[in-house]
Structure 1
Amino acid sequence: MTSSPATPLTDASEGRFAGRRVLAIGTYDSFVKTAAMIGRRFEAEGASLKLAALAASAGQLSLRQLRAGGVHETVPIVAAQRLVNERLFRDAHVVIAVVDGGRARELFLALAAADLSREPSRPIVAVASPGVVLADHLAGFMSRAPADLVCFNTESDLALYQAAAAEIGVDDTNGIVTGLLGLDHAPRPAPQGRPSVVFFEQPVIPARRMQRLHILGELTALARRFPDADIAIKLRHARDETAHHNARFHLEDLAREVFARGGRPDNLTFTHEPASELLERASLAVTVSSTVAIEAMARGVPTRIISDFGVSEALGTGFFVGSGCLAPMASLTPHMPETVDRDWLAARSGASPDAEALLSRCVGLLQGQDGLGAALPLRSLVPAYGSPDWLAFALGRAGPIALHAPHLIEKPKLGAGLVAAMAKRLRQVRRFTPRG
């Protein structure tokens, strides 16, 4: 998914962020892409922009993934503790962080240890989501709570955060509703040429081998029923690439079993084209619960959410209850009408992103810091990360890893080796410079 670029000012040097430096950081491909898209909104108002990624796993980014997301800059991959001590971070006026919950805790633990409040100034840190929030809502919200600004996709997400914050005493005044800032919601032109059905895969939804075989079988049957239409399967990542969640049963591998019973229809293909380009010509977009469904709905593309496996939180299909778009795969055709409930789309999906709340709050925080002549105080890790007693106990026993990756120290026998391997990997810095 790519977003329509922010409307540039007549003269960016006169923008609200003229002379300011913005650092946009992510983890995996969709995270870096969204961070860059948000960063470009600041750039359109005069800021200079740099990108980086927080180290998460080996091979977490490829050049193809970055290019597909519209990222052509150099993207250093740096561990959080190292990043917050580098000029790249400390010289930034604003840091946009689009990271998973574990990396968010890692980042804010590193910030607390660095104690930037002693500096003449520090970056204003804002966090945002790369897509719809399907699971672990409160855990994810609290992982990001120490940020200066937390961007929420919907009013209901913000309300949940505020309710939980009130229960335990977290300051919730950093919460703002921005919608899905990585979403392109511009209407698309009417598609030309052959009808095109695009299925957008998710790596672990559904997670079971039989479920994924069923999807492939139904898409194959669809291709055979409509030989005059193109059926494309948009893969989340290639076999040798990494995403936030890697596919346990890669569809290209399962396809050998499905096609062995009758071959692959000529009009059925696998693709790694950017989702935005596929939506430009799709007559129907199909998925289980991917964020791309929201983009398709917002852009006027007829969309269906697969209901073959029922409705559940685990599949993310519960998010789409009320959309009017759930349907079994056997009912799919290349010429299905738009059925999305526009009231649901406007109120519940985050499909109308607006960065103004983020931009204006950043302006206010920066001006407040300038007037103070000293770094703004960092927001406390307590109680979002737990009580003072718990933090002292956990950090004293195992250090920051006890809070951002406790599963690594609880594996019998392998724990010490995994921790050592992770520490070594996180010290590494790699740079990618996509080239055309």
Structure 2
Amino acid sequence: MRRIVALADTDSYVKWAAALLEALPDDVETELVIVETPLAVSAGQLRNALAGTRIDPETVRRVEFGEVPAILDEAAPDAVLMASRGPVVRVLAATVASLVPRPVIVTGLPGISIPATTAAMLHRTQCDLFVLHSTREVREFTELARHRGLAQRFALSTLPFAAVARTADRSAGGTDLVFASQAIVPRERADRVRVARMLVAAAAADPTRRVVVKERAVGGEQQTHRQKYSYPDLLATVGPVPSNLVVSHAPMLRALDDAEGLVTVSSTAAIEAVARGVPVIVLDSFGVDDRLINPVFVGSGLFGSEDAVRERDFRMPAEGWLADNYFHDRAADDWVAQLDELVALRRGGVLAPKPARERRGGRVRDVWERKLAFGRHDRSLAGAVVLVVGVPLRFVLRPILRPYHRRRLRAA
């Protein structure tokens, strides 16, 4: 019997981890653990994240960072799935790597991961296996790792949200225009106001059908990325809101039940919708740019204008785009086979260690980064001391060092 424990914190990573665990064979024993961070899921977000899975929210443990070694000693997993933002993974991976015997450390990204980034790999240096979700992602991350001289092993898995969506019942078509909100795409207030006005116009264009703004956080809840301008707040500033424009915090799986089509700037919800047979518009109002996380949709035929949204001119992706972008043959998925291989090496005592990336600052930097990642949930004395000294020093040095770091990145 193989055993894998997932350590997760934010809403999108919890949803990803739960769906990925669901995809494992029945003979794998699994557990999902929430590690408390400043952005950890609320109880409501946890319920939404687990919708469509067999994981009961009541069985999910919440632990502080300092409890992680004891929890893993008790569970004795063959592998640990790191389902968190990069800075948190970096700290947790170092902790897990120090266990004896060391579990296999698996990681990944919870959605669209094009463009491939060096930072995503550097944070996950100590992880044995990096799970990606399209043949294109595997190809581009592999090429970037080769170019940067980074040693990382990549594996392919069908995007778990899409896998869950394919099994969901959709016996009847819906009538809702569902807009998938994102915390930082687009980022600027003016752009988000423009989207809000578009949604109002779409609702006014047909009062008999709903426009649903699908939000991922209620006031006070956190997300993987900090949202500065929420659509519910912005809608209140753009004039009268039609009664058929509503805000929903339901799981995306449920929102798609009643959807005629989905609109997004670049959300992974587009992939989830296509898997359900729900057509999509990827809004092109702000161009195509890595910062918008939308170059992956070039060639898909999904880009559409604000006029297309008002007219509900939804579309399905071009056949030639699908196989390279999240809709490959599931027989190509190899992450479970690679995980089994690594577990066999571990059980045989020959799993090669993956040392942490060498950086300046040594132990002090490690403590500093742990405190930044976990905030008040890092209760160590060392963390408190480093925070008192480090915050003022960081404030002074950041403008001095920023040009140096930019030059290094350009030269890399």
TM-score range for the pair, normalised by the shorter chain length: 0.7 to 0.9
Specify the SS of the correspondent of 1:151: strand
RMSD: 3.0
Task: For residues 299-344 of structure 1, give each alpha carbon's deviation from its aligned partner in whole angstroms, at most 9, with x where no partner exists.
Answer: 2211001111222221222221111111111222565353411221
Aligned-pair identity in percent equals 24
Specify the SS of the correspondent of 1:285: strand
- The one-letter code sitting in structure 2 at the alignment partner of 1:298 is A
Partner of residue 197 from structure 2, selected from 199, 209, 217? 217
Partner of residue 34 from structure 2, selected from 35, 53, 65? 53
Partner of residue 101 from structure 1, selected from 83, 86, 108? 86
- The one-letter code sitting in structure 2 at the alignment partner of 1:235 is E
Task: For residues 60-117 of structure 1, give each alpha carbon's deviation from its aligned partner in whole angstroms, at most 9, with x where no partner exists.
Answer: 21111111122524333445564134345761122222221111111222234x2x3x
Change (3 A) 1:46 1:396: closer
- 1:30 counterpart residue number: 12
Question: Deviation at 1:399?
Answer: 2.9
Is residue 2:46 matched to residue 1:66?
yes
- The one-letter code sitting in structure 1 at the alignment partner of 2:237 is E
Change (3 A) 1:398 1:124: closer
Structure 1: any 5+ residue segments left out of the alignment?
Answer: 1-18, 417-436
Is residue 2:154 matched to residue 1:175?
yes
- 2:354 counterpart residue number: 379
Specify the SS of the correspondent of 1:49: strand
- 2:245 counterpart residue number: 268
Structure 2: any 5+ residue segments left out of the alignment?
Answer: 374-385, 397-412
Question: Deviation at 1:356?
Answer: 5.0
Normalised to the residue count of structure 2, the TM-score between the two structures is 0.81
Question: Deviation at 1:250?
Answer: 1.4
- 1:419 counterpart residue number: none
Is residue 2:158 matched to residue 1:144?
no
CA contact (8 A) 1:191 1:282 kept: no
Question: Deviation at 1:158?
Answer: 2.5
Is residue 2:297 matched to residue 1:315?
no
- Following the alignment from structure 2 to structure 1, what is the Cα–Cα distance between the partners of residues 174 and 161? 29
Partner of residue 326 from structure 1, selected from 271, 295, 303? 303
CA contact (8 A) 1:295 1:351 kept: no
- Following the alignment from structure 2 to structure 1, what is the Cα–Cα distance between the partners of residues 198 and 214? 15
- 1:420 counterpart residue number: none
- Following the alignment from structure 1 to structure 2, what is the Cα–Cα distance between the partners of residues 327 and 227? 22
- The one-letter code sitting in structure 1 at the alignment partner of 2:231 is L
CA contact (8 A) 2:161 2:272 kept: no
Is residue 2:368 matched to residue 1:401?
yes
- The one-letter code sitting in structure 1 at the alignment partner of 2:26 is E
Equivalent residue runs for 1:364-375 within 5 Å = 364-370=341-347, 372=348, 374=349
- Following the alignment from structure 2 to structure 1, what is the Cα–Cα distance between the partners of residues 355 and 3? 25
Larger RCO: 1 or 2 (CA < 8 Å, sep 6+): 1
Specify the SS of the correspondent of 1:33: helix
Specify the SS of the correspondent of 1:314: helix
CA contact (8 A) 2:131 2:156 kept: yes
Partner of residue 338 from structure 1, selected from 305, 311, 315? 315
- Following the alignment from structure 1 to structure 2, what is the Cα–Cα distance between the partners of residues 162 and 403? 28
Higher mean Cα deviation, 361-370 or 313-322? 361-370
CA contact (8 A) 1:152 1:175 kept: yes
- Following the alignment from structure 2 to structure 1, what is the Cα–Cα distance between the partners of residues 139 and 173? 45
Equivalent residue runs for 1:178-193 within 5 Å = 178-183=157-162, 184-186=164-166, 192=172
Change (3 A) 1:379 1:228: same
- The one-letter code sitting in structure 2 at the alignment partner of 1:272 is H
Question: Number of aligned pairs?
Answer: 377
- Following the alignment from structure 2 to structure 1, what is the Cα–Cα distance between the partners of residues 180 and 37? 25
Change (3 A) 1:81 1:203: same
Normalised to the residue count of structure 1, the TM-score between the two structures is 0.77
- 2:227 counterpart residue number: 247
- Following the alignment from structure 1 to structure 2, what is the Cα–Cα distance between the partners of residues 56 and 238? 18
Task: For residues 237-268 of structure 1, give each alpha carbon's deviation from its aligned partner in whole angstroms, at most 9, with x where no partner exists.
Answer: 1111111112201111112112xx3x221211
Specify the SS of the correspondent of 2:27: coil
- Following the alignment from structure 2 to structure 1, what is the Cα–Cα distance between the partners of residues 123 and 11? 20
- Following the alignment from structure 1 to structure 2, what is the Cα–Cα distance between the partners of residues 352 and 144? 27
